[in-house]
Amino acid sequence: MGHVKTAFLLSAALLVTGCATSAKGISQSAVMKSAMAEPLRQDVPPGTAMAVLRYPAHVEDDAKQAYYDAYSKRAIGGRLSKDSGDASEIQALADGMIMKSNYYALSVYKEMAAKMPEHSVLLSPHTVKLGADGKLTSVPMTQAESLPTVVTVDFSSYSFPDAKKMMGKAPLTFGDLVTPLVTVHSDHRASAPTKGLKLASAPLLPYAAGNGRRDVDTSLSALQSGTFETPSAPLDFVAFLNADSTASVASQSFGKMSANTVTSFPLEKIQLDKKDIAKLSAKDGGVTDPLKNAFSAGFANQVIGIINRTDINKATMVSRASAISQYDPSLAALTIVGSQDADYQARYRYAERLLEAEQKYLSVQSLRMFDGVHNGEIGAQTRDMLKAEYEHLEKRRELARQQNINTTMAVLGVLATGAMIANGGVGQDCSRSRTQREYYECQRRNQAANKVITDVAIAGIAYTGSKAFSLNKQSKMMGTNYMSSVAPILEQQQTVTVNLIDSNETITAIRFEDLRAKLQTLYSEKQRSLDTVATRCGYTHDGAVKSGTWLGVCENGLANGAGVGVLRNDDGSAVEYYGYAVNGQPQGAGYMITHTAAGSTALEGNFTAGRADGTMRETSAGQSARVVSYSAGAQTGRAPVGSPVATPFGNTPLSVPGAGN
């Protein structure tokens, strides 16, 4: 009976404690081991940013409950069990995620800014709030996303919403562990088949693709209503939390290089260098960036690689037109394909210089936000906290090691006791007894001694098993206690960080408004008149559908000259066209993107009466751009090698034929 109890206790200990893991991670992200760092080979016109880094910086009070609910419901890397901790613990983890995203985003910003030209990387912290439909959404806290930008990068650092699973394999950002979630988008005009999505952490990929599709939709609607301006898309992580509709895109695993395919970035739990963590709480702790050599530097190289393979003109043309339209609406649509006319060139230069002034201004704001958060008390406290978390984690790791030793000892104890019993136990050799009486006496003494030894051994095993069980409980409780005790600190940290970002934005906006008014006055005084101006009129595409909108040069109410055409068909498909038109139809060099339920494809080349006609560059999902021949809208086969492809972007400042994927 005693053996059964022992076995039961031991099994329970093993089952509950198992072989405790000690919250390990990989020492370097895959981005650090991938292809060699490549220098930035692209250039951007003045007033254009290379990258905008977006991250969740704040959750509005009204949205907090919805955020916490979504955070626990939409866990990455596992499911929450019934004993997954109380609401306050989950909230602390959710708040911690915001705080750490705020901090680690700055490491990524610093690395990207170091590898790209001055003023070309901007920070765009987002506020998570409730949308008009009651669902979570996020909006930028600064104007950084109003500038033309080659790529937008979403960054957040994730923790599984259960502190009890901290020591397991669940993704975690705590102490020396970081789990980055990233996505990289360009404008869909530069990457039509993937709707602009370039790279995404695996769990976010379908939601980022869904966000890309909604972006396309919003942009087309804006163009149809005669404006280039579109609101910034919410963060992809928020789309994930919301369980927004997803979209499927051609994807590939990280490290592969297929064209027109989204790279799926693995979910990684990265373990930072202990030496770097140890330096964090020093006075000059801000100089130490533990994420740099584990992730940020490599990720910045990835972003540069993506920019190098992006057609910058296509990626920025509409956002540039949108930014210019604030100063000069009649010029905006003309900038899409540009012009060699002296009046246009003169006027465009002015507009570009205004955007450059805006860019410098917003860049100063980003640099100061970095300075305020990273180098200020806020950053110092975050580093203190990371150090404390690391020490906390190390204690739990020690407990896990003790737990494993105790579990092992219990197992060995059971085996040893079993062997002893099987071998008849310990005691005198009764076979040497001379009389029957002596033999029975000897046997009785041995049995009594064995009972005491066995009882002690069983108690020891049970105690060791129980200790392992207890260590496990202690470790879990430590996590809970820690999260509960630091919850108010996280709250305060977030409040002060948001005050700083808000204050930076308010100061910038007030001064910026003033500056913009002066720039506007200067522009109005100095600009030359335009011989040809852009307006809004009809675009008929193939002559049959009359519901399209044209922003550009018009004549007799129809597209006639350079501009942008857009239309939606009854079947839900849509067409975007950038280039030259006559009588409302594409005619001459143009770039056309067609969106259907099956996906999006792009054609660049010559058009006649709305139809592709001649040598065209065709871009579709999962394959490199192909040069093919078209006649009256129908493909007639591959074009002869070296056939020139007409492009409408020959007059733009950065037309790179063949660039992009």
Partner 1 sequence: MRRLPILLTGLVLFCAPVMAQTAPGPGDVAVAAPSQQYCVTVMSGFPNDDHVARYQFFRLSQEMAVGATPQFRAALAQYGDAEVNEQTPILDVIEAIANPVLRQAAPEMVIGFMEHLIDFEDRCGAFLEGQINSLKAYDGDLVWEDPLITEDALFLRQVLSESLDRAGAADNPAHAFATQDYAANLIQTRDNMEFQVFTTEIDDLEAIYMTDLDGRLARSNDLINKEMDREGLDDALTLAKDMDKSFKEQEDKRRLYTLWRILGR
Output the smallest distance, CB 156 to partner 1, in A. Answer: 22
What is d(CA 565, CA 552) in angstroms, rounded to the nearest whole number?
A: 8
Region for residue 622 given its phi and psi (left: phi exceeds 0; alpha: psi -120 to 50; beta: otherwise): left
DSSP string for 21-33: -----BSS-HHHH
User: Which C-beta is closer to partner 1: that of 3 or that of 73?
Assistant: 3
Output the smallest distance, CB 649 to partner 1, in A. Answer: 23
User: Which C-beta is closer to partner 1: that of 310 or that of 504?
Assistant: 504
Selected from 458, 537, 627, 628, the binder of partner 1 by CB under 8 A is 458
Q: Which of these segments, 121-129, 508-516, 538-546, 581-589, binds partner 1 (CB under 8 A)?
A: 508-516
Output the smallest distance, CB 72 to partner 1, in A. Answer: 22
Specify the DSSP class assigned to residue 246. Answer: P
Q: Which of these segments, 158-166, 196-204, 375-383, 578-586, binds partner 1 (CB under 8 A)?
A: 375-383
User: Which C-beta is closer to partner 1: that of 219 or that of 508?
Assistant: 508
509 binds partner 1 (CB under 8 A): no
Output the smallest distance, CB 135 to partner 1, in A. Answer: 31
Selected from 250, 420, 515, 545, the binder of partner 1 by CB under 8 A is 515
User: Which C-beta is closer to partner 1: that of 99 or that of 551?
Assistant: 99
455 binds partner 1 (CB under 8 A): yes
380 binds partner 1 (CB under 8 A): yes
Name the 3-class secondary structure at 656.
coil
Selected from 81, 447, 485, 596, the binder of partner 1 by CB under 8 A is 485
No. of H helices and E strands in the chain?
13, 19
3-state helix, strand, coil in the chain (%, to 5): 50, 20, 30
Size of the site for partner 1 (CB under 8 A): 61
Output the smallest distance, CB 529 to partner 1, in A. Answer: 12
Selected from 227, 252, 288, 474, the binder of partner 1 by CB under 8 A is 474
Output the smallest distance, CB 455 to partner 1, in A. Answer: 7
Output the smallest distance, CB 362 to partner 1, in A. Answer: 10
Output the smallest distance, CB 376 to partner 1, in A. Answer: 4
341 binds partner 1 (CB under 8 A): no
Measured over the CA atoms of residue 160, residue 164, residue 165 and residue 171, the dihedral's sign is positive
Output the smallest distance, CB 441 to partner 1, in A. Answer: 27
Strands 121-130 and 180-186: unpaired
User: Which C-beta is closer to partner 1: that of 53 or that of 385?
Assistant: 385
Selected from 428, 503, 524, 636, the binder of partner 1 by CB under 8 A is 503
41 binds partner 1 (CB under 8 A): no
Q: Per-residue contact track with partner 1, 345 to 374, x per CB under 8 A?
A: xx--xx--xx--x--xx--xx--x--xx--
Q: Are 499 and 510 in contact (CB under 8 A)?
A: no
459 binds partner 1 (CB under 8 A): yes
User: Which C-beta is closer to partner 1: that of 75 or that of 354?
Assistant: 354
The first and second tokens of residue 177, run together, are: 């562990």
Q: What are phi and psi of 549, to 5 degrees?
A: -120, 140
Q: Are 156 and 84 in contact (CB under 8 A)?
A: no
Beta bridge partners, 594, equal: 575, 601
User: Which C-beta is closer to partner 1: that of 53 or that of 478?
Assistant: 478
What is d(CA 59, CA 137) in angstroms, rounded to the nearest whole number?
A: 10
Q: Are 330 and 534 in contact (CB under 8 A)?
A: yes
Selected from 401, 511, 626, 638, the binder of partner 1 by CB under 8 A is 511
The first and second tokens of residue 487, run together, are: 């919850």
Output the smallest distance, CB 359 to partner 1, in A. Answer: 11
Q: Are 616 and 572 in contact (CB under 8 A)?
A: no
Selected from 139, 405, 442, 489, the binder of partner 1 by CB under 8 A is 489
Output the smallest distance, CB 505 to partner 1, in A. Answer: 10
Exposure class string for 45-82: b at 16+ Cβ within 10 A, else e: bebbbbbbbbbbbbbbeebeebbbebbbeebbbeebee
- Give the dihedral of Cα atoms 400, 403, 407, 409; nearest 10 deg: 120
User: Which C-beta is closer to partner 1: that of 13 or that of 247?
Assistant: 13
Q: Report the interhelical angle of 2-17 vs 436-526 (nearest 10°).
A: 10
Output the smallest distance, CB 402 to partner 1, in A. Answer: 12
222 binds partner 1 (CB under 8 A): no
How many other CB atoms sit within 10 Å of the CB of residue 1?
5
User: Which C-beta is closer to partner 1: that of 290 or that of 379?
Assistant: 379
Strand positions, DSSP E, 525-584: 535-539, 548-555, 558-568, 574-582
Specify the DSSP class assigned to residue 528. Answer: P
Output the smallest distance, CB 507 to partner 1, in A. Answer: 5
What is d(CA 167, CA 20) in angstroms, rounded to the nearest whole number?
A: 8
Selected from 102, 454, 504, 647, the binder of partner 1 by CB under 8 A is 504
Selected from 77, 131, 286, 376, the binder of partner 1 by CB under 8 A is 376
What is d(CA 425, CA 446) in angstroms, rounded to the nearest whole number?
A: 8
Q: Are 252 and 262 in contact (CB under 8 A)?
A: yes
- CA 276 to chain CA centroid, nearest Å: 24
Hey, which residues between 383 and 412 contact partner 1 (CB under 8 A)?
384-385, 388, 392
377 binds partner 1 (CB under 8 A): yes
Output the smallest distance, CB 654 to partner 1, in A. Answer: 20
What is d(CA 615, CA 624) in angstroms, rounded to the nearest whole number?
A: 16
Q: Are 167 and 326 in contact (CB under 8 A)?
A: no
User: Which C-beta is closer to partner 1: that of 129 or that of 392?
Assistant: 392
What letter represents residue 71's amino acid? Y
Q: Which of these segments, 68-76, 201-209, 409-417, 457-465, binds partner 1 (CB under 8 A)?
A: 457-465
Residues constituting the chain: 661
User: Which C-beta is closer to partner 1: that of 277 or that of 354?
Assistant: 354
Region for residue 429 given its phi and psi (left: phi exceeds 0; alpha: psi -120 to 50; beta: otherwise): beta
467 binds partner 1 (CB under 8 A): yes
Region for residue 472 given its phi and psi (left: phi exceeds 0; alpha: psi -120 to 50; beta: otherwise): alpha
Q: Using CB under 8 A, list all residues that contact partner 1.
A: 342, 345-346, 349-350, 353-354, 357, 360-361, 364-365, 368, 371-372, 376-378, 380-381, 384-385, 388, 392, 455-456, 458-459, 462-463, 466-467, 470, 473-474, 477-478, 481-482, 484-486, 488-489, 492-493, 496, 499-500, 503-504, 507-508, 511, 514-515, 518-519, 522, 526, 528
